[in-house]
Structure 1
Amino acid sequence: MTELQRDTLAYAVVAAASVCLLVWIIPAHTPEYPGYGVPASLLPDIAAGFMLALSLLGLGRAALTRRRNNASGEGAQTTVRWRHLACFLIPCALLMPAMSWFGFLPAGIAFMVVIQLCCGQRRWLPMTLVAVVPVLSVYAIMRFGLGVPMP
């Protein structure tokens, strides 16, 4: 599988998942709007919309690259590093169940630490700041700024 094929497949899967999220999963699994604050589906809809937009841009870029490579006769073979991919996908798959079991703050901080470890970060101060500050910021914005109940 070439790098271009891998990227095209990944962008297509993300685009399909985003459409599925926007059309079916988010509307079916968010509580009804209580009449105050913002609807619970606001943040997931925005995130899924960004994912869809960026994956469509990636698909367009891949199509242009494929067209350019076909015209010039290029096409480099690269290998997929499955272990590296699994290091990212497994924590992502476990994030939502961890949030329901342990809550947003511990699961979010643990997720950020694991992802940083997978990326090679070993210094404790940057790892702590990058894990704690964004999670607490998102929690504060969602809970106190927008009035959305957090797990």
Structure 2
Amino acid sequence: MNALTPHFTVAYWCVLIAALLPTVCAYLAKSRGFGRSREQGGFDNHNPRAWLQQQTGFQARANAAQANTFEALPFFIGAVIIAHQLGAQQTWLDLLALLFVLLRGFYILMYVADMATARSVVWAVAMLVNVAILFVGYH
């Protein structure tokens, strides 16, 4: 491929994966409600936000992880696009994007498992990795 041929980089695939992570969180948040009627406390698709607000334990934490995962997306997407536009060295950009996605996956697991301190550390490291992605193309 020459420089003028567009292609989907690993970093772009990571954007797709990161965009799908909130769906994983939503599934976890709603999972105990599947297969039961609303009258039995099952998931209420007619009023999902109110139902989710009533959840406790891992379901409430999964819902909070979903919100935070959505909040992290714009910066990550922007950083990847800016790094590409600045001509970042592709291998570094891809590795950093992969690291970000892995860290966000661990973040979700730690949030659901109620590992608050470890979760906060992983969140901070992922934020630093995102900043590194933004500047990896800086010359």
Alignment TM class, shorter chain as reference: 0.3 to 0.5
Give the structure with higher Rg (CA): 1
> TM-score, normalising length from structure 2?
0.39
TM-score normalized with structure 1 length? 0.36
